Structure 1
């Protein structure tokens, strides 16, 4: 084959190779151009998305904080209300205990009994003595058996710890000297009419007469008040747990 013909064929192959290489290079340049242009758009989009996500997260966090504050407020109110409820319950229990122990005045329906000398000293020719503790105890026992709720001898409330005793010929009630007759005994009861009839039918007035004393029983009263027991009440064995 002549040399010129071989050279011509070689040049054609080289041109083909060059064309292919040029196409490849052009394609790579185009791809590179695309890769250098698109990231800016993507980065911008990602930034706005991040900002939106951050804003959303901040809003969620703010909502959570508001909810926590609201729950803290509710919890504090619950604790306050619980403490108040517990305090109110303790106060109510304390008042009930005081009432049961006789440490508060009580008003209700009942009777008044008046104890007075049956005769004057001039007629008796001797000094009138105090009403004996035994006679007063007998009267209190009878009144309790007739369903007395509260009793006061003079201004002294009769409670479970009351002591009626004689000291050197004088009578003491709740560590107070009993005044000279006449004095009154106040009795509260749910059915004063029934108590009145039972007292009238009993012999208690005769027992007072034996000691030269008169026992007068009043008609039922709609409103009477017995005073509070004004001395310290022993509360042995009673403990109160402190509120948390």
Structure 2
């Protein structure tokens, strides 16, 4: 009985050992694949990898150039916006020449009512000019010049030594021309129609002056303000909003 058990044990051990030897032999029989390419094939593969790397670097440089160009364009856009804003402010302040639709008004003495030997009036009162400018402004005239002098918000029309002056410019002789420009022809037509029925003509006639109003024209040049503008009570704001 003991011999029989021994034989069974030996048989089992032999079977296990045989299975292990079979597995080991199969592993040795099928080794892992090795790179069998020759040196030229390896060089060709390396060349392809370098070419791929070069293409990637070129693409990166191209994208960097595009980003740089975009950033430059963005900065230029900011600078252009600032320039446009400055030009618009200068236009609103009257510091630029304006060409657009508008009307002209000519102020001249009423010669037919002057008796022989009577001197022709060469004086126009500051009050009359101020009323004319106010009426033009109320009738939507945006750009006004009198006798070649641009009228802006700080313009002073006054009598100095019995001589009417506009910001120091003397109105020494008649006739003089007044230019009133707007932004479009429709507004110019409205301005013309309102001035034709205004009381300004009667006010000028009472001072022996005639106010002739021309029909609207599409292109009229109003000169820029050519005097020094004094700025008072203004200081630059420090960065951060402080004073």
- TM-score of the superposition, structure 2-length normalised? 0.67
Alignment RMSD (CA, Å):
3.3
Instruction: Measure, in 2, the Cα distance between the counterparts of 1:43 and 1:139.
Output: 100
Q: From the superposition, tell whether residues 193 and 68 of structure 1 become closer, same or farther in structure 2 (CA, over 3 Å).
A: closer
More helix per residue: 1 or 2?
A: 1
Distance 1:183 1:53, change over 3 A: same
Structure 1 unaligned runs (5+)?
Answer: 1-41
Judging changes above 3 Å, is the alpha-carbon distance between structure 1 residues 108 and 43 closer, same or farther for their aligned structure 2 residues?
A: closer
Per the alignment, do residues 63 and 222 of structure 1 end up closer, same or farther by CA in structure 2, a change over 3 Å counting?
A: closer
- 2:71 counterpart (51, 61, 79): 79
| 1:44, distance to aligned residue in structure 2 (A) | 8.8
Paired with 1:162 and 1:124, the residues of 2 have a C-alpha distance of: 37
Match of residue 28 from structure 1: none
Q: Equivalences for 1:198-217 in 2 at 5 Å?
A: 198-217=194-213
Provide Cα deviations, 1:160-188, integer angstroms capped at 9, x if missing partner.
22221221111221332224110111112
Q: Secondary structure at the match of 2:89?
A: helix
Counterpart of 1:18 in structure 2 is none
3-state DSSP of counterpart to 2:173: coil
Alignment of 1:42-121 (within 5 A): 58-59=50-51, 61-119=53-111
Greater Rg by CA = 1
Report the count of equivalent residues.
Answer: 199
Residues 38-80 of structure 1, C-alpha deviations (whole Å, 9 max, x = no match)? xxxx899798898678656644543443233222211221122
By how many angstroms is 1:211 displaced?
A: 2.3
After TM superposition, the score normalised by the length of structure 1 is: 0.66
Give the SS at the match of 1:191. helix
Structure 2: give runs of 5+ residues left out of the alignment.
1-33
Aligned to 1:169: 162
Shift in Å, 1:213: 1.6
Contact 2:102 2:217 in 1 (8 A): yes
Q: Deviations over 1:57-110 (max 9, x none)?
A: 644543443233222211221122123222322222222222222222222222
